[in-house]
Amino acid sequence: MKKLLLLLTMTITFISCQEETKPVEPIEISAEDLHASVDKVTEIMIHDIFSPPVASRIFAYPNIAAYEIVALGNENYHSLVGQITDLTPIPKPDTISAINYDLSALVAHMELSKRLIFSEDRMEALRDSLYGVWEGKNPTVFKSSKDYGLLVADHIGEWMNKDNYPQTRTMPKFTVDADNPSRWQPTPPAYMDGIEPHWSKIRPFVIDSAAQFKPLPPPSFSMETNSDFYMELKEVYDVGKKIEEEGDESDEIAIAKFWDCNPYVSVTRGHLMFATKKITPGAHWIGITKIAARKTNSDFDKTLFAYTKTSMAIADGFISCWDEKYRSNLIRPETLINQHIDDEWKPVLQTPPFPEYTSGHSVVSGAASTALTSIFGDGFSFEDDTEVPYGLPVRSFNSFHEAAEEAAISRMYGGIHYRAAVEVGLIQGRNLGNFLVEKLHMKTDQRVADNLQ
């Protein structure tokens, strides 16, 4: 019996020693891991059908949470505390714990993303697959880094929940002024209510207020054929008829469809109505951010920096744009053309369910392109394959600004915006983007050459 006990003790000791001496591997977090998390968020948002403004909020907060962790662990990056509205310092990690800051950042990104979408199980599937790999390499570092990432996610989550978004969920629907011929009316085929009429009440990230970049008002409404407004309306109709005559080979149709980015397109088949799902305009620019980061071989921290700066520009762009949309409350071209010019005319694209002025694509593209130019430089050429999953070909651009200009004019080609909304909206977005670039100091060395190393 004593010999059996002795043998058992020796066996346990041997196993224990084996476990203690088992080599651990370093946990390396790459930019591709971050791309995978951002791509998963985009995929889920398409599945869950979030409106463009709400989608911009979903992108921004997880990026900020992750960025604040990186800024704590990398002296080349500066915290956003004191630079964006109401953000307070994240808690510091326990000094006795070994922390992999990039791992913690990615944990925070996935956790906060999970809280912002509906299909949590889809995000959890990605998270669990990564957790399994990391824990197997170094259990101690994994646990301490994960715990810290979750701690920061809680901190940013508390700040996030004070941005007035929860309150806007219970605010009244937008009331249509049917007696005023200049005011927006729901459009076919679904005749949906106006989306997010209270978005201007959301707390902005960088801009001082929703109205800080209030644009010039649209041309005065008039159906007199010599008025500026009517001539812009007629231009939309004429462009649409020209595109119709040229058919699907028209470059204008290709441009309109490439930048459509309507997350909910209603399709009618007999008595049935269903939706086709696509990315939002903000998600398209997040996709362009990924393309630029990959082209420059940006590491995890640089990639996160690009995502964070661009997503804040997009989010504040939507707040600024939606403030003007529901202030001017301008009627869409489709409604007036059908009432006064041609009752059978249809736009190339389905008209989105909210007022016309200014163009959301134009504002967001102007802001995002300005942020990206500040990171990767002007004259940054790229192949945009963001829309390939939706059956559209790659388009080439010589700069972010060139892409923004095409995105803006695509809305007039699509028949859903007047020229003023496109041109003024682009200026509105660029002014906002320039303000963001001048105000934020996120990186010690922001030279373009640094991003190309």
90 and 181 belong to one structural domain: no
Instruction: Give the integer Cα–Cα distance in Å for 53 and 73.
Output: 31
Residues 129 and 256 in one domain: no
pLDDT > 90? residue 95:
no
User: Residue 22: inside a domain, yes or no?
Assistant: no
Structural domain count of the chain: 2
Is residue 4, in this structure, part of any structural domain at all? Answer: no
Q: Do both 107 and 251 map to the same domain?
A: no
Q: 157 with 181, same domain?
A: no
The residue among 142, 166, 190 that closes a domain is 166
Please give the Cα distance from 126 to 201 (Å, whole number).
33
18 within domain boundaries: no
**141 with 198, same domain?**
no
Task: Say whether both 205 and 324 belong to one domain.
Answer: yes
Which amino acid appears at position 223 of this protein?
M
Instruction: Kindly state whether residue 235 falls inside one of the protein's structural domains.
Output: yes
At residue 449, the pLDDT reads 38
Q: Is 308 helix (H, G, I), strand (E, B) or coil?
A: helix
Give 271's pLDDT tier (boundaries 50, 70, 90): low
User: Left if phi > 0, otherwise alpha if psi is -120 to 50, otherwise beta: which for 174?
Assistant: beta
* Domain boundary, last residue among 118, 144, 166: 166
Residue 399 has pLDDT above 90, yes or no: yes
User: Is 300 in the same domain as 392?
Assistant: yes
Pair 189, 319 in one domain: yes
Residues 6+ apart with CB under 8 A from 236: 333, 337, 412, 415, 417, 418, 419
Tens digits of residue pLDDT in 72-90: 999 999 999 999 999 999 9
CA dist 403 and 378 (Å) reads 12
Residue 171 lies in a domain: no
State the Cα–Cα distance between residues 248 and 240, nearest whole angstrom. 12
pLDDT band at 97 (very low <50, low <70, confident <90, very high): confident
The Cα-based distances of 409 to 4, 12, 194, 256, 365 in angstroms read 84, 73, 23, 8, 11
19 found inside a domain = no
CA distance 23 to 138: 9
Q: What is the CATH number of the domain that holds 439?
A: 1.10.606.20
- Does residue 247 sit in the same domain as residue 269? yes
Task: Count other Cβ atoms within 10 Å, centred on residue 39.
Answer: 16
Host domain of residue 105: 29-166
Q: How far apart are CA 203 and CA 81, in angstroms?
A: 15
Tell me: do 215 and 316 sit in the same domain.
yes
Could you identify the residue written with the tokens 């006064």?
Answer: 340
SS3 (DSSP) at 162: coil
Task: Band the pLDDT of 100: cuts 50, 70, 90.
Answer: very high
What are the pLDDT digits (tens) for 297-348?
999 999 999 999 999 999 999 999 999 999 999 999 999 999 999 999 999 9
| Cβ partners under 8 Å of residue 377, min gap 6 | 448, 451
Among 166, 194, 213, give the residue marking a domain's end.
Answer: 166
Averaged pLDDT for residues 45-69: 97
Assess if residue 430 is contained within a domain.
yes
Count of other CB atoms within 10 angstroms of residue 264:
19
166: left (phi over 0), alpha (psi -120 to 50) or beta: alpha
Give a yes or no: residue 429 inside a domain: yes
Q: Counting every residue, how long is the chain?
A: 453
Angle at 36 between CA 33 and CA 41, to 5 degrees: 135
Residue 207: which region, alpha, beta or left (left: phi > 0; alpha: psi -120 to 50)?
beta
Residues 89 and 222 in one domain: no
Do residues 323 and 210 make contact, with C-beta atoms less than 8 angstroms apart? Answer: yes
- Confidence class of residue 204 from pLDDT cuts 50, 70 and 90? very high
Structural tokens at position 124: 């959890």
Q: Are both 59 and 197 inside the same structural domain?
A: no
